[in-house]
Amino acid sequence: MKKHNFNAGPSILPREVIEKTAQAVLDFNNSGLSILEISHRAKDFQPVVDEAVALFKELLNIPEGYSVLFLGGGASLQFCMVPFNLLEKKAAYVNTGTWASKALKEAKGFGEAIEVASSKDSNFNYIPKNYVIPADVDYFHITTNNTIFGTELLKDLDSPVPLVADMSSDIFSRPVDVSKYALIYGGAQKNLAPAGLTFVIVKNDILGKVSRHIPSMLDYKIHIENGSMFNTPPVLPIYSALETLRWLKSNGGIVEMEKQNIAKAKLLYDEIDRNKLFVGTAALEDRSRMNICFVMNPEYAELEADFQKFATERGMVGIKGHRSVGGFRASTYNALPIESVQALVDCMQEFEKLH
């Protein structure tokens, strides 16, 4: 049976990317060697990193003066690497969910880290809007897409101080004005590559301003100077990322991705709103295009396990909601075809007819 992969992360990748990665595992560039058994400094591998960096810059339209880094440690390591490199006295955070809370918690170990706004009061089902970004902080941190709670900030904020964003789960899903950000980071396993790779886009001139000693492995400047090769980078995930970036480019780039993501999200949200059995959990104006969260209408609460089973039998994978929201979550990353969303909608309609 055809599987429809709605996993939140690690998650669906384009089939072509998986096939090309498999090919490189067997025989990389007709070298007679697997990509798993060559040096990251081999002359065949440097062009992989160079092309991946170039495509990052091209697809996201990254201005001059920024570096693109491929690191390990996940987005979670960035929660501490960001304050390590940027927090001298004080930083400000918006708390929009589990990941934002963790980022804020880490920053508190490096100086004063203040929460300027939070949506915790209603289980993070909206993005706070009426707050002022303090002018006296070293940076302001946001999480653009809240993977667990299904809310997303779809515009690039104007910030009077350096703006730092965790874009783990919506990078490459819409055009972004990178010039408004000082630093963008994310784990690659949501919309770009298999787990093991972290990307960082950093404006060079914000670095070198803190007085603390930074261990080499955590120092962005050292990684920039070494072209992401200060130590052994995650070679295989970088290769897969390159294939995803090539796929993005040959499929119309991010403008086209955004169009498709809007269409996929509309298809599913329209059904959630129409179907008497289900209700969406996120505030209408903050609904994520990447992680679509919904629960049973309270009148039909007892049907939750039945629907889970019904959908699983029809090939839906990974639609169980995160335990902090409950219900269901369908992740609709770039690689998920609209046919899979339609299959889930059909499932919801069939299930409604039975009740």
Q: Where in the sequence numbering do the catalytic residues fall?
A: 99, 166, 190
Interface stretch with ligand PLP, choices 68-76, 86-94, 320-328, 336-344 (CB under 6 A)? 68-76
Among 49, 60, 68, 75, which residue sits at the site for ligand PLP (rule: CB under 6 A)? 75
Q: Are 265 and 173 in contact (CB under 8 A)?
A: no
Among 4, 9, 234, 293, which residue sits at the site for ligand PLP (rule: CB under 6 A)? 9
Residue 150 contacts ligand PLP per CB under 6 A: no
Residue 258 contacts ligand PLP per CB under 6 A: no
Among 96, 101, 119, 143, which residue sits at the site for ligand PLP (rule: CB under 6 A)? 143
Is the preceding peptide bond at 337 cis, omega within 30 degrees of 0?
A: no
Residue 240 contacts ligand PLP per CB under 6 A: no
Residue 141 contacts ligand PLP per CB under 6 A: no
In the region spanning residues 97 to 136, those forming contacts with ligand PLP, defined by CB under 6 A, are: 99
Residue 10 contacts ligand PLP per CB under 6 A: no
Residue 7 contacts ligand PLP per CB under 6 A: no
Size of the chain, expressed as the number of residues it contains: 355
CA atoms within 13 A on the CB side of 228: 24
Q: Between 71 and 345, whose beta carbon lies closer to ligand PLP?
A: 71
Q: DSSP readout, 169-235?
A: TTTTSS---GGG-SEEEEETTTTTSSTT-EEEEEEGGGSS---S---GGG-HHHHHHTTT-SS---H
CA distance 91 to 113: 5
Residue 85 contacts ligand PLP per CB under 6 A: no
Minimum distance, C-beta of residue 13 to ligand PLP, in the bound complex (Å) = 15
* Bridge partner list, 165: 142, 184
Match 């730092």 to its residue by tokens.
164
Minimum distance, C-beta of residue 151 to ligand PLP, in the bound complex (Å) = 11
In the region spanning residues 153 to 192, those forming contacts with ligand PLP, defined by CB under 6 A, are: 166, 168-169, 187, 190
CA distance 12 to 80: 28
φ, ψ for residue 246, nearest 5 deg? -65, -40
CA distance 1 to 337: 16
Q: Between 9 and 347, whose beta carbon lies closer to ligand PLP?
A: 9
Q: Between 137 and 290, whose beta carbon lies closer to ligand PLP?
A: 290
253-274 helix and 235-250 helix, angle to the nearest 10 degrees? 90
Contacts with ligand PLP, residue ranges (CB under 6 A): 9, 74-76, 99, 143, 147, 166, 168-169, 187, 190
